[in-house]
């Protein structure tokens, strides 16, 4: 605090020294990408339908399935088969890698480039197995 004495009148005045505080706003951080595509290629086939029964031809692309309650057969070669949906019945003719983060999926494959695909199951209650020629689908049809 600064004390000033003014002239002959003997009056005293006070001046207060103030300092302005500059408050900076935090910079926005980049939001993380959602994990729905799990490193799928940009040209991946993305299937988000639900309650469908289809046969789909794929030629070397990745496949991302986010729908639920589907019964899908993929013919041809798949790079990565990524399943984030639930309760799907999926058959792949040929697949290099299977990644499942959804729940309650039944996934079968017939062939893989190295004899067996790379498997990752981070979901719950999934069944992933090689399909034999006399295998039945989950519903027994």
What pTM value is reported for the model?
0.69
The answer to whether position 2 is within a domain reads no
User: What gap in Å lies between CA 80 and CA 58, rounded to an integer?
Assistant: 11
Distance between alpha carbon 123 and the CA centroid of its chain, in Å? 12
The answer to whether position 102 is within a domain reads yes
The answer to whether position 140 is within a domain reads no
* pLDDT number for residue 131: 87
The answer to whether position 112 is within a domain reads yes
The answer to whether position 5 is within a domain reads no
The answer to whether position 30 is within a domain reads no
DSSP category for residue 26:
P
The answer to whether position 136 is within a domain reads no
User: What gap in Å lies between CA 130 and CA 109, rounded to an integer?
Assistant: 5
| Partners of 15 in beta bridges | 2
- Domain range for 98 is 45-130
The answer to whether position 86 is within a domain reads yes
Written as one string, the DSSP assignment of 29-44 is: PPPPPPTTSTT--TT-
Q: Which residues of 48-78 are buried (b: 16+ CB within 10 A; e: fewer)?
A: eeeeeeeeeebeebbbbbbbbebbbbbeebb
pLDDT mean values, one per 10 residues, the chain (141 residues): 50 54 56 56 96 97 97 97 98 97 97 95 96 60 49
Please, what sign has the CA dihedral across residues 130, 135, 140, 141? positive
Instruction: Provide the number of structural domains found in the chain.
Output: 1
């Amino acid at each position: 605090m600064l004390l000033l004495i003014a002239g002959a009148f003997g009056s005293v005045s006070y001046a207060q020294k103030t300092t302005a505080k500059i408050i900076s706003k935090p910079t926005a951080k980049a939001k993380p990408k959602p994990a729905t595509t799990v490193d799928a290629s940009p040209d991946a086939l993305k299937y988000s339908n639900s309650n469908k029964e289809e046969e789909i031809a794929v030629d070397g692309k990745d496949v991302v399935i986010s729908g639920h309650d589907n019964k899908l057969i993929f013919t041809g070669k798949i790079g990565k088969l990524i399943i984030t949906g639930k309760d799907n019945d999926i058959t792949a003719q040929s697949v290099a890698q299977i990644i499942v983060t959804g729940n309650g999926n039944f996934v079968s494959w017939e062939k893989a480039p190295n004899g067996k695909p790379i498997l990752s199951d981070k979901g719950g209650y999934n069944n992933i197995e090689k399909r034999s020629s006399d295998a039945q689908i989950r519903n027994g049809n």
